[in-house]
A and B are shown apart, each in its own frame.
Chain A
Amino acid sequence: MQVSTLKARELTITLAFTVVYAVLTVALAPISYGIVQVRVSDALIPLSIIFGFPAVIGVTIGCALANIISPVPGLVFIDVIFGSIANFAASYAAYRLRKNEKLACIVATLIVTFIVGTYLPILFSFPIYIGWATIFIGSAISIGMLGYVLVQVLKRMKIS
């Protein structure tokens, strides 16, 4: 028996985050400075501080969806699994640490760095420190910096 467990309001907030994450990932070309790529959509990960658990699920499914709608659906195929896991873990951690927003953003950055920066080198066998370094710079900017500012701005607007 398939039953829905979320309330309509939670379901649609999740939907909103899924779509926004996917659209931003694909529509805004990553800001790249050589090897370092900043994925702007990752700034949505710490928003679970404001919007709670639906946002966590939203960025998780959004990551998988982004891979499906991108012109190279296969490009980040493994992202469908590990990228989603990374987003879920990071966003959930931020949600649990929502009392301390700075700490929440830092932890989220580290989680993404650790998961994504580990599976890419393992899969295509290049040194792990290269993976960690490049992913860390990118996510520190998107999650740590942009995400934190976004949380501050949206909090003042009281839209949730």
Chain B
Amino acid sequence: MAYSFLKAFTFKKGETPIHRLHPLSKMLFALIMTVIALIQQNFTIFMIALTVTLAVAAIARVLRRLLQSYRLLISLSALIFIANFVTLWDLDFSVSMVLRLLLMASAFSVTFMTLNPDEISVIFSRIRAPLDLGFIFSSSLRFIPTLTRETEMIIFAQRARALELDSGNVFNRVKNYIPILVPVIVCAIRRSQQLAEALETRGFNPGKPRTYAEQPSFSLLDAVFNIVIVIMLLIIVYIIFFSSIHLLTFSEIVSLIMQLPYSTLI
């Protein structure tokens, strides 16, 4: 069982310009990259947007973690590529669909790798989402390590009682999870009852407005970052929908590269 994910997800404090951005600016970056990924299918544009995303990751010093995370995308990429290629027999389109996945995944990865969990409740309060939502989000982030440790302990305890998780056919394997799921849920419910009492004793009062100790504000850096990203989106929209510039596709670029040494030989 791999619990290395805890290390991977733990947001690391950083002093890079990207970390200092307002949480909403980071979200805007991910959203605009997603829009770019969804409105077009051109190889060149995907490569430009992906380069920008990787550059942002490099500035935030999370490039290596981002590239490592690509390993986990391999199976989904393969499914997308094969399903597209077999049904449409179009190499360019299949490659573009894989790049669409990579671009969206990278943009969101960069955002969440640089987003302090505490800032998430700020986002919720800024977009005027219900307070409960922000509270649940930020306090769940606090409880995840606790519950992971508890889950780990339960798995070890059940294994010591000869529970096998990875044997048998798929139905048996699923059934083997019951002795783990039941205690995990029971523990979580018990903990939630203690937490409810703790909240009540600390004056948690539904129906009264809540106040914040700190509120991050927009800086000049945010303004510059947001304007650059939005201009990039506008240029891409202009090139794709309103201009007649020919953008190279994947197969064209490959054939260009293939021709180079060939033509120099002749």
Contact = CB atoms under 8 A, between A and B. Distances in A.
A110 interface: no
Contact of A157 (B2, B107, B184, B186): B186
Given A75-B73, A127-B83, A157-B186, A8 B147 contact: no
A29 B188 contact: no
9 contacts: A2-B125, A3-B206, A3-B207, A15-B143, A23-B144, A67-B108, A69-B144, A71-B69, A141-B171
Interface stretch (B44-52, B195-203, B216-224): B195-203
B231 interface: no
Nearest to B76: A75
Contacts of A123: 100
Interface of A: 1-9, 11-20, 22-24, 26-29, 31, 33, 35-36, 38, 40, 43-44, 47, 51, 57, 61-62, 65, 67-75, 77-78, 123-127, 130, 141-142, 145-146, 149-150, 153-154, 157, 159-160
B13 interface: no
B188 A16 contact: yes
Interface string B79-98: 11001100110000100010
Contact of B2 (A29, A33, A146): A29
Contacts of B160: none
Chain B contact-residue range equals 35 or more
| Most interface-central of A38, A75, A157 (chain B CB within 10 A) | A75
A5 B207 contact: yes
Main secondary structure of the interface of A (DSSP, over half): helix
A157 B200 CA distance: 26
Contacts of B108: 67, 73-74, 77
Interface of B: 1-5, 8-9, 30, 34, 69, 72-73, 76, 79-80, 83-84, 87-88, 93, 97, 100-101, 104-109, 111-113, 120, 125, 128, 130-133, 135-137, 139-141, 143-144, 147-148, 151-152, 170-171, 173-175, 177-178, 181-182, 184-186, 188-193, 195-196, 199-200, 204-210
Contact of B170 (A33, A68, A74): A33
A74 B109 contact: yes
A27 B151 contact: yes
Contacts of B204: 4, 8
Contacts of A18: 136-137, 140
Contacts of B105: 72, 74-75, 77
Nearest to A4: B206
Contact of B151 (A4, A23, A142, A159): A23
